[in-house]
Structure 1
Amino acid sequence: MKKHNLINLLLLFLIAFSAQAQEALFRAQQIVSPEIHDDQSVTFRVFAPDAKSVQITGDFLPTVKMETQFGPMDGPGKADLVKGENGVWEYKSAPLSPELYGYSIIVDGFTTTDPNNPFLIRDVASVTNILIVGAGQADYYRVKDVPHGTVARRWYDSPGLGMDRRLTVYTPPGYETSNEKYPVLYLLHGAGGDEEAWIALGRTAQILDNLIAQGKAKPMIVVMPNGNVIQDAAPGEGKDGFYKPVFMAPRTMDGGYEAAFMDIIKFVESSYRVKADKSNRAIAGLSMGGFHTLHISRYFPNTFDYMGLFSAAIMPREDATGKVYSDFDNTLTAQMKNGYKLYWIAIGKTDFLYKANVEYREKLDKMGMKYDYVESEGGHTWRNWRVYLTQFAPQLFK
């Protein structure tokens, strides 16, 4: 083949490839998914011309019963998308209530993300797309035109756990330009989470920004530690590099984290302008973080004036052998006698931990320990925990 013929052939190939690439890019840009309509229904679209089946699963669909290691639990259902002549599959939801929703796409049995929605979130080892629908409660989860706080990832020395560890810190709007001292909320994640969970899944920064701007919550620092004692940081952020997150890391609820918690408080109170006394410290957590909150506040009974147990994992554990868990009744009584301003318990009616929380409240009632109780719809979900944070934070540091 002559040289100029080879060059011409290469040029034709490049032109054809470029045209095909531009067509694919143009076609992808024309697909809007998700599309939120005025009535708050949502249309999802996926270009999959060769697929035999496309489905969607998300927390806006009716729940189904799923078998888990904890027994039957509610999980998101599925719905079929309908294929159009152009190879684009579509599903239109019913009008949705205001909320932050997560969803995934299932193509021929393979679960994946929506290629037209770049907004993703990780929960344990699952990555899903997200969208926010409507106003009202959902407005707390949006970035609005209000003064914003700062989110930082910090490393602290933990002699109790024998390593440097990472945590996430939210400082309120104006912290950097003032000399003011602030109260602190220590906000703890659940099993499978880490120091990224509350800031990402929980929308902590957006919630606090909006509550503070509306005058509903006092400006406060929020500290979100990693509760997995074998980790120095979230998977991919620490010395162990990239590895698949697991739901329950070893030693996560063996008492080591609770016993070493003063390492975190010491770091925060030496690194930030804080009001370092009981009346300006709060601690709260979801699920496993509620378990940690219960035991940390009891083990250090004169440290916090505000406690929040969100769907708390109140249950006996075989590995709960640490000193933290001993002498439970006497230390809980000491916490009660020392006094506090708020002991707040919240759980969903269909939560698999509901019965355990009922039994714990009966124990508190019997000993005369006062608490506030909130019972919501739904189960063991971030949808509830975000709401609990918007309800709990305004009650702090009054």
Structure 2
Amino acid sequence: MNLKRISTLALGALMAMGLYAQQNLSWAQMPVVSPEVNADNSVTFRVLAPQAQKVQITGDMLPTRKIDTPMGKYDAPGVADLVKDDKGVWSFKTGKLPSELYTYNVVVDGVRTLDPSNVYCVRDVTNLFSMLLIGGGQGDWYRVKEVPHGTVSKIWYNSPTAGLKRRLTVYTPAGYETSKEKYPVLYLLHGIGGDENAWSELGRAAQILDNLIAAGKAKPMIVVMTNGNISQEAAPGETPNGFTVPTLMLPKTMDGNFELAFPDVIKFVESNYRVKADKNDRAIAGLSMGGFHSLYISANNPDTFGYVGLFSAAINKQQTSGVESERVYDDLYGKLAKLFAAKPKLYWIGIGKTDFLYKDNADFRAKLTAKGYPFTYMETEGGHIWRNWRIYLTEFAQKLFK
């Protein structure tokens, strides 16, 4: 064997040893286990940060705290301190938690970030959250189970009223592609800052519908998840505008333009999907701003929807810009008189006890009661949070199209 050959083999051996050493080092530095769901449904969080001075966790599995904002006091996720061990691993163990889907962040020396040991995360407007799921109860509706699965599609449609090509997220139930059956439709609307991805990603809408339908608790239905920001084509980063920064401050969100353009959505769905196109096979529901939109879309179209759901809904128009489109908000109770005269099958309202919109909802319910308008009401713990809206969708969906 010549010297050049020996040198090449030696170099290869050294490189292999270096790679092996790097692999061993990478395994030695693998992230700690976090989160760890314990047998009693407590959760242990761990963060390897030997140089950090302070590590905390904040999330909806912790008791809420009140924070001051320019608009008043609001519930915010609780905060807990982690304790550091002699290996530089910080840890915190919760008490026993109810079955639920939880979101959280790690805070290292004042900087909020994702849990570095947890690859599962979700975006809510401008924030990213790590997530975990505890089964054995309500959280089981949000799991992917061994049941027939529906299809979630991102569909573009033309909105002549908005002057844009826009995108919808559409859930079709298991069996849709292979059957000739026609299905009822739930139009499901998000809150301010959200988009057509919100209900499928944060709201677990597909998992909820899959599991409810498989359990025989909900009728097979199509769910159309709109983008309620009428100035947007689609979710941030998924349009020709590129990687724009998500924001709450979008034009035309609550000035009547979305309500006026909503018939474009219905026309597209009923022209392109096998649906039952009558009032008692259409439902509309939404959270917060989406509840506001659902309230006024249904009020302005009293013969269109047999089912209406208001989840922590904004009720009152807060600002007036004077544009012509705002006429859709005029004479709400005159319009509701026509809606209830048309006898909707279900008018459903849900809100948390500490929601900042609680009083507006209480006043609205009092007016409905005084006028003799029938509605179904659900009150839950907590405030203006996805934890409540997933519960409301789970309950509302079971009451539709029966």
Look up the equivalent residue of 2:194 and give its one-letter code.
G
Q: Does 1:35 align with 2:33?
A: no
Query: How far off its partner does 1:288 sit?
Result: 0.5
Question: What is the match of residue 225 of structure 2?
Answer: 224
Show CA shifts across 1:48-103 (max 9, x none): 12111111111111111112343111111211112122222211111111100011
Moved more, 23-32 or 94-103: 23-32
Query: How far off its partner does 1:29 sit?
Result: 3.6
Q: Does 1:375 align with 2:374?
A: no
Q: 5+ unaligned residues in a row in structure 2: which ranges?
A: none
Look up the equivalent residue of 1:341 and give its one-letter code.
K
Matches of 1:58 and 1:200, distance apart in 2: 18
Question: What is the match of residue 245 of structure 1?
Answer: 246
Matches of 1:362 and 1:102, distance apart in 2: 34
Matches of 1:280 and 1:211, distance apart in 2: 18
Query: How far off its partner does 1:23 sit?
Result: 3.9
Say whether the 8 Å CA contact 1:349–1:375 is kept in structure 2.
yes
C-alpha spacing 1:274/1:81, structure 2 compared with 1 (3 Å):
same
Matches of 1:170 and 1:59, distance apart in 2: 27
Q: Does 1:394 align with 2:394?
A: no
| Aligned CA-pair RMSD | 2.1
Query: How far off its partner does 1:180 sit?
Result: 0.3
Look up the equivalent residue of 1:378 and give its one-letter code.
G
Matches of 2:51 and 2:34, distance apart in 1: 19
Question: What is the match of residue 177 of structure 1?
Answer: 178
Matches of 1:320 and 1:36, distance apart in 2: 50
Question: What is the match of residue 125 of structure 2?
Answer: 124
Matches of 2:351 and 2:294, distance apart in 1: 15
Match of 1:363 among 364, 367, 370: 367
Show CA shifts across 1:354-379 (max 9, x none): 00001111221222221111111111
Say whether the 8 Å CA contact 1:255–1:320 is kept in structure 2.
no
Query: How far off its partner does 1:297 sit?
Result: 0.2
Match of 1:323 among 319, 323, 327: 327
Question: What is the match of residue 345 of structure 1?
Answer: 349
Query: How far off its partner does 1:27 sit?
Result: 2.9
- Percent identity, aligned pairs only, is 59
Q: 5+ unaligned residues in a row in structure 1: which ranges?
A: none
Say whether the 8 Å CA contact 2:31–2:117 is kept in structure 1.
no
Say whether the 8 Å CA contact 1:253–1:319 is kept in structure 2.
no
Matches of 1:246 and 1:280, distance apart in 2: 34
In the comparison of the two structures, how many residue pairs are matched? Answer: 395
Look up the equivalent residue of 2:380 and give its one-letter code.
S
Query: What are the within-5 Å matches in structure 2 for residues 86-165 of structure 1?
Result: 86-165=87-166
Say whether the 8 Å CA contact 2:195–2:228 is kept in structure 1.
yes
C-alpha spacing 1:17/1:105, structure 2 compared with 1 (3 Å):
farther
Partner SS, residue 106 of structure 1: strand
Matches of 1:197 and 1:121, distance apart in 2: 10
Query: What are the within-5 Å matches in structure 2 for residues 282-301 of structure 1?
Result: 282-301=283-302
Query: How far off its partner does 1:334 sit?
Result: 1.1
Partner SS, residue 296 of structure 1: helix
Partner SS, residue 242 of structure 2: coil
Task: Give the TM-score normalised by structure 1.
Answer: 0.95
